[in-house]
Structure 1
Amino acid sequence: MKDITSTQNSYIKQLVQLKDKSRDRKKSGTFLIEGQREISLALKGQYTIDTLLYCNDYIDNIQIETLTSAATEIIQVSKDVYQKLAYRDTTEGVIAIAQSKTLDLSDLTFDKPNPLILIAEAPEKPGNIGALLRTADAANVDAFIIANPKTDLYNPNIIRSSVGCVFTNQVASGSTDDIISFLKSKNINIFCAALQASKPYHTQDYTTATALVVGTEATGLSEAWRNQATQNIIIPMQGEIDSMNVSVAAGILVFEAKRQRQFA
């Protein structure tokens, strides 16, 4: 077992870049996962853990033993090294280096004829993406897809804000055009949250194969989605504003679909 105590260690410097830079994550095909729950969920989601780093100041041997069996290499690090790598203020003493998944649309599989899919177009804020992933997990949707992604899914802010739900959902990403083509090839109805040419969301049938699509609060969905929708839908607003947080809107739509399906 290796033991690294210096923050100037070349390997630690590489990991800092991996934490901070999307470019480095994409180039290496790896990313950092911080926290016992998040690592456990990643393992459950069939992610491969290459290396596990832990600090005895934060975690005891009994806790670390439950995770070490899945890693190829185990490294003990000093408190200073760990704090340099850690993203959170409150930490659990363990960080994993995991292999990324491709997140291709072609990798999505559905085990029932009427899948329920949540799609978000061009979400920018990691906190919103994390909240959408938590909503997708809570409703146990069959897939969560990001159209025209603005950041990579393995951004540590997304992992943190999703409390590991980035690993519990079947996730893919692609361009708006590619996703629309994918949905149509699978005969999946497309319901787009939009102001234009819309009907109240609760008047539609979501018991068949369904994709619920939400856009950003600032710009909404692109014309491509609105024009290709089976039906545009709207959540009637009774106050002064005409929009709400994207994850809140997604939750309302997804759980209406689950209600219609009797939460199946």
Structure 2
Amino acid sequence: MKEITSTQNSLVKQILHLKEKSKERKKSGLFIVEGIRETELALKGAYHLETVLFNESIISEEAVKLILQKHPNVELIKISKEVYQKLAYRQTTEGILAIAKAKTHNLSNLQFKNENPLILVAEAPEKPGNIGALLRTADAANLDAVVIANPKSDLYNPNILRSSVGCIFTNNIATGSTSEIISFLKKKNISINCAALTASINYSKVNYKQAAAIVVGTEATGLSGEWLEASTQNIIIPMQGEIDSMNVSVAAAIVIFEAKRQRGF
């Protein structure tokens, strides 16, 4: 088995570029997975792992092979503690890193398991922490899809991977422009329920039992006018404090679980 002990190794440099540069991830179609749970979820989500690197002082070779038991063609490389510390995004992870092949998330390829899908649409989310939290909520609710309109960050940004705790791999995800997504939803007869402050009704008064999309915008500017014009119904979460907005992932979770409640889950 190959072993890397130098931080100047060419593969080490490549991994650092993949972690730090979105341009490099897009160019190569590769990204870095870090941690046992994340690696297991990536494999479960049918992601192709090209190489797995591990530090034997943290995780044994046997444990790594057990994780990869159904994937015998993945290259295994031992790395020294110094190399691992150089590469690890989180020093508390369990001694394992993987180079993985990114998936395409074309809207045209999006398919649903259910006849009446419940999906989350987020327009132009910027903060990786918010994107990660939205993906965690979508996973918890077992949504049929998450669609990101006009994405500002690439999905395989290490901060998104970290904040999603692997839910980037468990969700059915697509991206596209606002106009493309609106056209897609209308073609599929999916109602468009936009979180907005104007012309809105209480979120709990809407019927989400049929095919429905819950659409949220940024905390700073909300949804664009294009979404509000296309909206089947604008919805609002009544608040009793001084402010008129809350964290986008929290707001999305409130509406999503009301929809799940109506659907009997």
- TM-score, normalised on structure 1? 0.98
More displaced, 137-146 or 109-118?
A: 109-118
Shift >3 Å, 4+ stretches: none
Q: Which moved more, 1:161-170 or 1:63-72?
A: 63-72
Aligned to 2:15: 15
Amino acid at match of 1:225: W
**Gapped regions of structure 2 (runs ≥ 5):** none
Identity among equivalent pairs (%)? 66
Contact map agreement 2:114 2:144 (CA 8 A) in 1: no
Residue in 1 aligned with 2:234? 232
- 2:109 corresponds to which residue? 107
Q: Which residue of 2 aligns with 1:182?
A: 184
Give the Cα separation in 2 of the matches to 1:204 and 1:174.
26
RMSD between superposed Cα atoms in Å: 0.9
User: How far apart in 1 are the matches of 2:259 and 2:57?
Assistant: 46
2:203 touches 2:255 (CA, 8 Å); kept in 1?
yes
Match of 1:206 in 2: 208
Q: Is 2:64 the partner of 1:64? A: yes
* Structure-2 residue corresponding to 1:195: 197
Give 1:45's aligned amino acid: G
How far apart are the structure 2 equivalents of 1:91 and 1:163?
12
The answer to whether the 8 Å contact 2:132/2:163 transfers is: yes
Q: In structure 1, what residue type is equivalent to 2:108?
A: S
Task: Name the CA distance, whole Å, in 2 between partners of 1:251 and 1:237.
Answer: 15
Corresponding residue of 2:139: 137
Aligned length: 263
Per the alignment, residue 33 of structure 2 pairs with 33
Q: Is the 8 A contact 1:50 1:96 kept in 2?
A: yes
Unaligned runs of at least 5 residues, structure 1? none
Shift of 1:77: 0.7
For residues 156 and 211 of structure 2, the distance between their equivalents in structure 1, rounded to whole angstroms, comes to: 28
What's the TM-score once normalised by structure 2's chain length? 0.97
Deviations 1:46-76 (A, max 9, x none): 1111100001121122321222342521111
CA–CA separation in structure 1 for the residues paired with 2:44 and 2:15: 24
Amino acid at match of 2:123: E
Deviation of 1:111 after TM superposition, in Å, equals 2.3
1:246 is matched with 248
Aligned to 2:264: 262
Q: Does 1:51 align with 2:51?
A: yes
Contact 1:190 1:210 survives alignment (8 Å)? yes
Structure 1 residue 84, shift from structure 2 partner:
1.1
